Amino acid sequence: MTGTWHRSRPVVWLIASLLAIGLWQVWEGSWMYAKAGLAQLLLQRAWTRSLEGEAMPKPWPWADTWPIARLRMPRLSVDLIVLAGAHGRTLAFGPGHVGSSALPGQTGTMMLAGHRDTHFQFLQELQPDDRLEIVGMDGTTRRYRVTERQVMDSQRDSIATSDERAELILVTCFPFDAITTGGPLRFVVRADAIPQADRS
């Protein structure tokens, strides 16, 4: 009982498994974060190809998504490639375009979703009147002005969309600094298109 516990196998095992779990979790966490950044590099290349006219260029051979727009926010130096489809698999690599919403260049609500702890972290710093830019696949840029930010509950709220207004909605999880995932709250940013003539 006295003084031998530290030599016992369970303690060695405890240390070994804590080490293993620790390294594994650190690796998984960092990989997830690194992936979010690395993927954007590959995506930038695919984006260039798409501007050159290639339809649905795959950023890597086994990808099941492709870039469809570029989201920029000059004030915070944000420059992201937006992917087709907003689901778990695409969101790891970049913000995703919600399939049922309008595409860049079309009128109507365009909706993008992104991870609050990687690509869409910058949403928390957005202020009303901030400018956002969406570059479409044809290379044209449309500018938006942030009009509204709100927190919604995904279990009960819905977002009004329109097929006539040119607007942009960005959705991410809330709160931004929550450690656990899977909460019901969403941070929703709404931005109105600035008419082409008015480039103030």
Partner 1 sequence: MLNEWFFLPRARLHRCARILMVCMALATSGVGTPPTDAGSAESPVTLSTGVVPTMGINEGTEGTLLFRTDQAGRFTPAPVLKTDVHIAVTGTIARATVRQEFTNPSTRKGDWLEGIYVFPLPETAAVDHLRMHVGERIIEGQIKERAEAKKVYEQAKQQGQRTSLLDQERPNIFTTSVANIGPGEHITIEIEYQETVRYDDEQFHLRFPMAVGQRYIPGTPVIIEGQVPTGSGTMLDTDRVPDASRITPPIQSPRYGSINPLSLSLTLHPGFPIDKVESSFHPIISIPDAEGGYHVTLRADAVPADRDFQLSWHPVARTEPIATVFTEQKNGQTYAMLMLAPPTQHDEKAPRVPRDLTFIIDTSGSMAGPSIDQAKRALAAALPRLSMQDRFNIIQFNHTVRSLFAGPQPVTTTTIKQAIHYTERLSADGGTEVLPALRQALKSPQESARLQQIILLTDGQVGNEEELFELLHQRVGTRRLFTIGIGSTPNSHLMRKAAEFGRGTFTYIGKVEEVEQKLERLFRKLERPVLTDVSVDQAGWSGLEQYPARIADLYEGEPIVLAMKADALPSHATLHGQVGSRPWSLPVSLNQTATQGGLSVYWAWQKISSLMDEATKEGRAEVTKTSVIEVALAHHLVSQYTSLVAVDVTPARPTDVPGTEPGQTTNLANMQLSALPKTATGWQLQLLLGLSALVLAALVRRLRNEVA
- Between residue 73 and residue 132, which ones bind partner 1 under the rule CB under 8 A? 85-89, 91-92, 96, 98-101, 109, 111, 113-118, 120
Q: Which of 105, 147, 193, 194 binds partner 1 (CB under 8 A)?
A: 147
Size of interface with partner 1, in residues (CB under 8 A):
84
Q: Is 30 in the site for partner 1 (CB under 8 A)?
A: yes
Q: Which of 38, 140, 163, 196 binds partner 1 (CB under 8 A)?
A: 163
Give the Cα-Cα-Cα angle 128, 129, 131 (nearest 5 degrees).
120
Could you say which residues in the range 46-65 bind partner 1, by CB under 8 A? Answer: 62-64
Q: Is the link from the previous residue into 59 a cis peptide, with omega within 30 of 0?
A: no
The answer to whether the beta carbons of residues 82 and 95 sit under 8 Å apart is: yes
Residue closer to partner 1 by CB (options 22, 74) is: 22
Pairwise CA distance, residues 30 & 76, whole Å: 23
* Least distance from partner 1 to the Cβ atom of residue 55, Å: 12
Residue located via tokens 């926010």 = 73
What mask of x and - would describe binding to partner 1 in positions 10 to 29, judged by CB under 8 A?
-x--xx--xx-xxxxxxxxx
**Residues across the chain:** 200
- Contact region with partner 1 (CB under 8 A), list: 9-17, 38-46, 74-82, 131-139: 9-17
Which residues, other chains included, contact 196 with Cβ-Cβ below 8 Å and sequence gap of 6+?
142
- In this structure, the dihedral spanned by the alpha carbons of residues 49, 136, 157 and 186, taken in order and rounded to 10 degrees, is 60
* Least distance from partner 1 to the Cβ atom of residue 54, Å: 16
Q: Which of 43, 50, 167, 189 binds partner 1 (CB under 8 A)?
A: 167
Q: Which of 49, 103, 124, 154 binds partner 1 (CB under 8 A)?
A: 154
Q: b/e per residue, 26-48, with b = 16+ CB within 10 A?
A: eeeeeeeeeebeebbebbeebbe
